[in-house]
Structure 1
Amino acid sequence: MHLSHTHHQLSKTLNKVLFSPQRLPWTIISFGILVRSVQYLYNRSLWNDEAALALNILNRSYVELLEPLDYDQGAPIGFLFIEKLATQLFGDSEYSLRLFPFLSAIISLFLFYRLAQRCLQPSTVWIALALFSSLHIIVYYATEVKQYSSDVAIAILSSLLFIDLSRVRLNPTQVITYSVLGATLIWFSHPIVFVLAGIALSQLVLALIGQRVTTILKLLIIYLVWAISFCILYTVTLQDLANQTDLFNSWESRGTFPNSIGDFSWFLTTFWEFFHKPLGFPDVFLGVTVFTFFLGCVSLIKTNSKLLLILVSPVIITFFAAYLKIYPFDGRLVLFLTPFFILLISEGVALIKYTKKNQIKIRTLILILLLVPPLGTATYLMIKPYEKQEIRPIIAYIKEHQQLNDIIYVYQRAEFQFKYYANKFGYQAEDYILGIDDLDKQDGQGISDKEWQRYTSDLDKLRGKQRVWIVFSHVRSWAQEKERVTTYLDTFGRQIDAFETKGSYVYLYNLT
């Protein structure tokens, strides 16, 4: 009896401490911080794209980072400079390279909480916060050497800074402050220009409707400063990035642009797919999520149409940019739009009231369908963190088992990862052979016959060698590249050792 009473008191205390209306948001934020921290501390190996950008950051000076990046990479100047500074202060480890994305992800949790409080009913804020804290793609990019995590943070920060711009009386000091803030943020995130453009247009429309001539003039001054900053940025770096045909062709081949201005089916498909990637909802729940999103739009049309205009404007501008083939609408590249979708989805849940028994059941069911998948995934990630292409254990295995005169041959897609880790394991450029590159530049569809002939000629140079380590990573499973190479080696050699990890592999061959 005493134990039962003690257990009841403990449960009651925990519920009050963790899940009371006042404490619940901070419990959710703490959960989000914990999930992201586990990913960061797990310290998975850099995968291909991370390594490619890391090599640019490590091997270039600040001035050289203003030039077009190697390996078809692109990133905002502000992001690159912060990354460079982090490596100078803390070394060239994965932890240093991922520090800024990680801190951006943590700060985003607090910024989003403030934005949700500003936009949603108090009873709904926790739903939005739970989604934002646990959606797996946001968690994943919190610890990737890419700018997508900071894109999200800057998009939320911009919304908080400028959401009431047309309502503020705007004294000269505020005009200067808002001008400088927007002009500066443009240098730290490429897609922030779509958020600023959306907010600017919506605020201008609201000021025009209110016939506030003085406010309109002050807004135009602010927007002019933003535009000048963007023009300078475009001249310095974006112009070169826009001219990278390989990067553009890569985007276009993935269907990130519509075929024409009148391609409405692309819009519908892409809009629907956004709820799957980057929002990450399972296919079976997409209908419910999209329905709840539109419920949120309906709710704001009734209660706060001005806020709806501000929240959807960045989405509309980004779609418009895709139709002009200026910016691809795809996955991680539009991750910065997720906060706006989450807010509208959460608002949709709020439209379903508690007044009737059936409505309570529907609301509960929708909450389960919305929250269980991301929260379940996030919880699982604390037990088994993300892995992608674990090349670091592969190189460690080679180092441990390598004999004198062994040859290391690095398959061309593993080049950037191997180059990043080579020095850490004591390898110099002359200690390994990089496979012939440009394997899928001919037709963009894997290895063509012409390219395969080039590659087999490269592999034939290894004939007669007694011990050759063949290192694979970032292989294309749909092309079965690894199997194709090893099958060819089996025709004139014998595999004598193998070691495989997530997304990376090494095979030791006797090719005599």
Structure 2
Amino acid sequence: MTQKKNYPLLRYISIFFLVFGIFVRLIQYVSNRSLWYDEASLALNIVNRSYLELLGPLDYDQAAPPGFLWIEKLFVQLLGNNEYVLRLFPLIVGIISIFAFYQFAQRYSSTLAAPIAIALFACLESTIYYATEVKQYGVDLMGTLILSLLLIPLRDRVFGKRQILFLSLVGAIFIWLSHPAIFVLSGIELSSWLSAPARKRQSIILNRLPIYLVWLLSFAVLFFLSINVSANNPRLQYSWGASYPDAPWDVVWLFDSFGRFFYTPLSFFSITDGIALFAFVCGCVAYYRTNRTNLLFLASPFLTTLLASYLHKYPFRDRLVFFLAPPTLLFIAEGVVFLLTRFQRRYKYVIILGIIVLIALVIPPSIRASQLVFTPEVKEETVPVLEYVKSHQQPGDMLYIHRGARSQFLYYAEKFGYREGDYILGGFLMPKKEDNREPWVRFTGDIEKLRGKERVWLVFRAKYKESKKFSSYLDRIGKQLDFFSQRIDSAIQPCMFVYLYDFSGSP
């Protein structure tokens, strides 16, 4: 990895995937899918709160960095309140990230590994998806890339006053834009201390103390104004409670969390998550043999994040660790090259294994990304459901919104001409198990209020199996007159449904 050879074909492949990655993201953006539950919940906070109020605990059990929320708020005020505007900043960030990752791969991986890493970054479902979602995870990813590109090359330098001021401001700003930026900053700087020559280590630390003080001050203010308040949300605590290890020696949790990481958020599906993990380990070995300094810097955000998780301060799980994707993809790509080249003299059969690993990791996401060009991804399509209701609603019809669909409906209500009093918001979720008596009584009591009404539209968000249980219950107290769903083909992903029922015969 220390010597770079010039292979024009590999460079053209890298550029092709860079352009293709941008194209796919633009297609996803232009398709303008409906906001799904999490997006709509965060969008309601962005639209309805002031800049100062966005510092406090957010409604609908949401949490996001204030800097991200403020930029979204500014875009909405300047350009209007719609899906395109809300997704514009994530799209810009996603495109910047592709260019940044191109540089990242060229700089910190071998010539053969760079196009593999770039192809994965361009085509993986998660990197495409988070570039067009109204959430902060794409900004987290960009933060890892920008901070790494800025700080790693300066690892053993003593800064002048302008550099100190610039890096202080950049770090302080990213801390407000991305919660995990603090792990990237601290990991890179700790690696700088460890990799610096012993004679320069003290001078480097003393030289950078003003930078560290600014970063710490920025994080402290953010923590007391925003993070600490959000962390005290009991529902958020409950949702991430299982993401922490039970004890410092909980190795089972470590292996389980790290194994899950390749499935979600990285989106290596089926057996390819195990193949990706295998390639990752091979990549770590390759870096250890050829460039231990790069290994230290690329692995450092993992180590600081795991430390925070063991301290129960940050969950190492799902989309919250999406920001670790860039170094992970370099390790995976380097692992593939390691299998293809390291054993070609003595164990030629390993090359076959390397080819299989390469095909298994690169081809499926490339095919999936190509399909997205013609069939952009949809998730929970609220707009077609509400359009159907609006076009078929008759005077006097009642409109009931199940609690699971509340955020989407409240975001789109005004756009479809609904005002408070035109609808009923359900207060309780349907329990997943019918024998869970108390929640079931609360839920059915919510629906019982509709008995005697002739035409009631019920907007519902659930998985297919849950929707069948819901309609089964409704059939016992009324007669189904109509049904519509934009999408009903997933047993895992929730969908939006609307039912029209006649409860007039129900006493």
TM-score by length of 2: 0.92
Provide Cα deviations, 1:440-480, integer angstroms capped at 9, x if missing partner.
6xxx979831122122222121111111001111x255xx5
Q: Is the 8 A contact 1:136 1:378 kept in 2?
A: yes
Amino acid aligned to 1:339: P
> 2:359: which partner in 1?
368
Give the letter aligned to residue 396 of structure 2: N
Q: Offset of 1:416 from its aligned partner?
A: 0.6
Determine the C-alpha separation between the residues in 2 that align with 1:445 and 1:189.
Answer: 38
**Whole-Å Cα distance in 2 between the matches of residues 413 and 144 of structure 1?**
19
Aligned partner of 2:159 among 145, 170, 186: 170
Aligned residues of 1:200 and 1:223 also touching (Cα < 8 A): no
Give the superposition deviation at 1:135.
0.8
2:261 aligns with 274
Give yes or no for the alignment of 1:148 onto 2:148.
Answer: no
Per the TM alignment, residue 197 of structure 1 is displaced from its structure 2 partner at its CA by 1.4
Q: Bigger CA drift: 413-422 or 452-461?
A: 452-461
Q: 2:470 corresponds to which letter in structure 1?
A: V
**1:279-358 mapped onto 2 (5 Å cutoff):** 279-351=266-338, 352-353=340-341, 355-356=344-345, 358=349
Select 1:493's aligned residue among 459, 474, 478. Answer: 478
> 1:208 Cα deviation (Å)?
6.0
Q: Which whole-Å CA distance do the structure 1 matches of 2:447 and 2:16 have between them?
A: 56
Match of 1:504 in 2: 496
Aligned residue pairs: how many?
A: 486
Match of 2:458 among 459, 470, 494: 470
1:418 corresponds to 2:406: no
Asked whether 1:383 is paired with 2:370, we answer no
- Evaluate the alpha carbon distance shift between residue 446 and residue 172 of structure 1 in structure 2; reply closer, same or farther with a 3 A threshold: farther
Once the 2 structures are TM-superposed, how far is the Cα of residue 86 of structure 1 from its aligned partner?
1.0
Q: Contact (CA 8 Å) 2:175, 2:218: kept in 1 or not? A: yes
Over the aligned positions, Cα root-mean-square deviation in angstroms equals 1.9
Aligned to 2:386: 395
What do residues 270-326 of structure 1 show as CA deviations (whole Å, max 9, x unaligned)? 111211212222332334322221221112112211111111010111111111111
Match of 1:449 in 2: 437
What's the secondary structure of 2:260's corresponding residue? helix
| Counterpart pick for 1:139 among 120, 123, 128 | 128
Amino acid at match of 1:180: L
Name 1:93's counterpart in structure 2.
82
Rounded Cα–Cα distance in structure 1 between residues aligned with 2:181 and 2:23: 27
Question: Using the alignment, how far apart are the partners of 1:27 and 1:74 within structure 2?
Answer: 36
Deviation readout 1:375-404 (Å, 9 max, x if unpaired): 111112222221111111010001001100
Shift of 1:100: 0.8
For 2:83, the aligned partner's letter is E
* Match of residue 186, structure 1, among 172, 175, 185: 175
SS where residue 158 of structure 1 aligns?
Answer: helix
Letter of the 2:20 counterpart: F
Name the CA distance, whole Å, in 2 between partners of 1:140 and 1:310: 27
Q: Is 1:37 matched with 2:29?
A: no
SS at match of 2:341: coil
* Stretch moving more, 360-369 or 222-231: 360-369
SS at match of 2:263: coil
> Using a 3 Å threshold, how does the CA distance of structure 1 residues 435 and 221 change in structure 2: closer, same or farther?
same
Contact kept? 2:262, 2:277, Cα under 8 Å: yes
Aligned match for 2:229, one of 240, 259, 274: 240
Displacement of 1:486 in angstroms is: 2.4
Tell me which amino acid in the other structure corresponds to 1:289: A
Equivalent position amino acid for 2:9 in 1:
S
Give yes or no for contact 2:130–2:137 (8 Å, CA) kept in 1.
yes
- In 2: Cα distance, 1:447 partner to 1:261 partner: 37
**Does structure 2 retain, via aligned residues, the 8 Å contact 1:207–1:216?**
no
**1:235 partner letter:** F
Contact 1:131 1:374 in 2 (8 A): yes
Q: CA deviation at 1:362?
A: 3.5
Contact kept in structure 1, 2:428 and 2:446, CA below 8 Å: no
**Structure 1 492/288 Cα, relative in aligned 2: closer, same or farther at 3 Å?**
closer
Q: Secondary structure at the match of 2:14?
A: helix
What letter corresponds to residue 496 of structure 2 in structure 1? S
Structure 1 residue 488: deviation in Å?
2.5
Q: Give the aligned residue type for 2:269.
A: P
Alignment CA distance shift 1:141-1:447 (3 Å): farther
Indicate conservation of the 8 Å contact 1:439/1:447, yes or no.
no
User: C-alpha separation between the residues in 2 aligned to 1:491 and 1:291?
Assistant: 52
SS of 2:135 mapped into structure 1: coil
1:235 CA displacement? 1.4
**Residues 429 and 443 of structure 2 are in contact (CA less than 8 Å); yes or no, is this contact kept in structure 1?**
no
Where structure 2 has 5 or more consecutive residues not aligned to the other structure, the ranges are 1-7, 488-494
Q: Within 2, Cα distance between the matches of 1:331 and 1:105?
A: 19
Seen in structure 2, the aligned counterparts of structure 1 residues 464 and 438 have a Cα distance that, compared at 3 Å, is closer
Q: 2:104 aligns with which of 102, 115, 120?
A: 115
Separation of aligned partners in 2, 1:282 and 1:471:
32
What does residue 491 of structure 2 align with?
A: none
- CA shift digits 1:394-450 (9 cap, x unpaired): 10001001100000011111001001111111111111111113666xxx9798311
Q: Which amino acid is 1:291 matched to?
A: F
Instruction: From the superposition, tell whether residues 402 and 438 of structure 1 become closer, same or farther in structure 2 (CA, over 3 Å).
Output: closer
Would the aligned equivalents of 1:204 and 1:219 in 2 still touch at CA under 8 Å? no
Match status 1:482 vs 2:467: yes
The structural deviation recorded for 1:32 is 0.3
The offset of 1:217, in angstroms, is 1.0
| 1:204-215 map, 5 Å | 204-207=193-196, 209=198, 211-215=200-204
User: 2: distance between equivalents of 1:289 and 1:412?
Assistant: 39
* 1:229 partner SS: helix
1:55 is matched with which residue?
A: 44
Q: Is 1:404 equivalent to 2:395 in the alignment?
A: yes
Q: Following the alignment from structure 1 to structure 2, what is the Cα–Cα distance between the partners of residues 488 and 219?
A: 65
